[in-house]
Amino acid sequence: MASLFTKRKKKILFLASGRGSNLKAVLQTLRNGKIPGQGIALVTDNPEAKALEIAAEFQVPTRVLDFRSFLEKSEYHRKLLELLLEFSPELIVTAGYMKILKPEVIRAFPNRIINIHPSLLPAFPGLAAQKQAWNAGVKIAGCTAHFVDEGVDSGPIILQAAVKIKEGMSERDLTLEILKEEHKILPLAIRYFCEDRLFIENGKVNIR
Ligand code: GRF
């Protein structure tokens, strides 16, 4: 019998545009019951996203807003906000979502959007972060789970994991090593959020 003290599950909506390996890592953790949360939807801008198959595999409802089919891109962003408000999630997770969220979306869900980024922010924000790190010749790379604010990859940092660049490693090896770490810290950041353990003070996240 469920305990009276069992935490109510938080409603999580995912935004993803591609492969969906982070989505899968999170859905697996949710299925194992390790997070007091439930996936209520995957929304994608890409009808070919592999993430759609992953969501279906885990019985998570999906919605496609095909970005390319919108002549007016502002209409895409308007529809997206409408859809998000309709689902009314307590947490939005961007897991390889390749569009920049408009300020209206961020303001509608303040400190309720978590992103996974493949660098040790604030280094290497933006696209192809692993390549940026590789080209810069850093000796330690990694990934960051953070809240989304109105800047690019600039919101309060929740968790980070480091990856040492070893002798003989290729850029591809590095990308794969970083991805493995992403699959650990994203579910953990979501777990902390769902357990109400994240507090933001002066732009910094405290985990209690
Ligand atoms: C990941 O490297 C993530 O950090 C970045 O986009 C990639 C998405 O991969 N934002 P996947 O779709 O989760 O496999």
Tokens coding 200: 């933001």
* Nearest CA among 150, 148, 161, 146 for reference residue 192: 146
Ranges of each domain in the chain = 10-199
Any known ligand binding at 100?
yes
Confidence check: pLDDT of 201 > 90:
yes
pTM of the model: 0.96
* 102 neighbors 73 (Cβ within 8 angstroms): no
Confidence check: pLDDT of 7 > 60:
yes
Contacts of 144 (CB under 8 A, 6+ apart): 116, 117, 119, 120, 121, 153, 157, 158, 159, 160, 185
165 Cα–ligand 1 center, Å = 20
**Chain segment 136-181, per-residue pLDDT in tens:** 999 999 999 999 999 999 999 999 999 999 999 999 999 999 999 9
∠ CA 20-21-26, nearest 5°, is 95
**Chain segment 185-195, per-residue pLDDT in tens:** 999 999 999 99
* Nearest CA among 5, 25, 7, 20 for reference residue 189: 25
Instruction: Classify the phi-psi angles of 156: left when phi > 0, otherwise alpha if psi is within -120 to 50, otherwise beta.
Output: beta
Three-state DSSP at 97 gives: coil
**CA gap 106, 44 in Å, rounded:** 17
Ligand 1 atom 9, closest CA: 96
* Nearest CA among 88, 130, 124, 80 for reference residue 105: 80
Residue 36: HSE in the Cβ half-sphere, 13 Å Cα cutoff: 13
Confidence check: pLDDT of 5 > 80:
no
Q: Is the bond preceding residue 47 a cis peptide, omega within 30 degrees?
A: no
* Nearest CA among 17, 26, 80 for reference residue 52: 17
Confidence check: pLDDT of 6 > 80:
no
In percent, how much of the chain has pLDDT > 70?
A: 97
In this prediction, residue 34 carries a pLDDT of: 87
Domain 10-199 sits in CATH at 3.40.50.170
Mean pLDDT along residues 39-47: 98
Mean model confidence pLDDT for the chain: 96
**Chain segment 64-109, per-residue pLDDT in tens:** 999 999 999 999 999 999 999 999 999 999 999 999 999 999 999 9
Nearest-atom number in ligand 1 for the CA of 116 is 4
Ligand 1 pocket check for 116: Cβ under 6 Å: yes
**Is 183 tagged catalytic?**
no
